[in-house]
Amino acid sequence: MASQSVSESNFGLLIAYVLPGYTALKGLPFIGSDFSTWSITSPHGEMTIAGFLATSIEAIFAGLTVSMIRWFVIDNLHHSSGLTPPNFDFAILEKRSQAFELLIRYHYTYYKFYANMVVALFWSFAMVQPRFGWTAAGYWLLTALFALGSRHTLKRYYERAGRLLAAESEA
């Protein structure tokens, strides 16, 4: 059981922070950039542990920075467009913590991934500066899809977590 929960928590961190961070740093290799930019190799083409660790730390740092920008920009855009956070009654959280953790795993973690990818794609597009054409269209299409996905998953999270942690008088 312990190894299963470790892999589940690592998966959430990977998709919410590392993948968007790596995308912000390197761009998307399948849309107009070279796959070699994602490599973690020595000048001789050998995989190195130091390269892997350095790249991982850079991706985590970039991912956390992307997440901060997401919190400031994307969360506020969603809230100003009508998605409002529910009023949680945290006094009942202890009784419902397992269900709340499931909602975070099923909805909020994916929200962070989708919304962080919106920020990461904007950043990597600006850094890669592709000419307008298929590459640019691919970036904008993915950004739009991730933006829609982020709104949908945040809405689901708010609805379900709001019902779960509604005050006893509201439920």
Q: Per residue in 128-162, pLDDT tens?
A: 766 677 878 888 999 999 999 999 999 999 999 99
Name the burial class of residue 4, with classes exposed (0-12), middle (13-18) and buried (19+) by CB atoms within 10 angstroms of its CB.
exposed
Buried b (16+ CB within 10 A) or exposed e, 64-87: ebbbebbeeebbebbeeeeeeebe
Is residue 48, in this structure, part of any structural domain at all? yes
Is residue 88, in this structure, part of any structural domain at all? yes
The mean-pLDDT minimum among 10-14, 16-20, 151-155, 160-164 falls in 10-14
Q: Are 120 and 23 in contact (CB under 8 A)?
A: yes
Q: Are 80 and 43 in contact (CB under 8 A)?
A: no
Is residue 68, in this structure, part of any structural domain at all? yes
Q: Are 31 and 74 in contact (CB under 8 A)?
A: no
Is residue 155, in this structure, part of any structural domain at all? yes
Which range of residues forms the domain containing residue 134?
2-164
Please state the domain count of the chain. 1
Buried b (16+ CB within 10 A) or exposed e, 131-170: eeeebbebbeebbeebbebbbebbebbbebbbebbeeeee
Is residue 171, in this structure, part of any structural domain at all? no
Residue 48, by phi and psi: left (phi above 0), alpha (psi -120 to 50) or beta? beta
In the numeric block, which tokens belong to residue 167? Answer: 């005050």
Is residue 170, in this structure, part of any structural domain at all? no
Is residue 8, in this structure, part of any structural domain at all? yes
The pTM score is: 0.83
Is residue 119, in this structure, part of any structural domain at all? yes
pLDDT in tens, 61-118: 999 999 999 999 999 999 999 999 999 999 999 999 999 999 999 999 999 999 999 9
Q: Are 112 and 67 in contact (CB under 8 A)?
A: yes
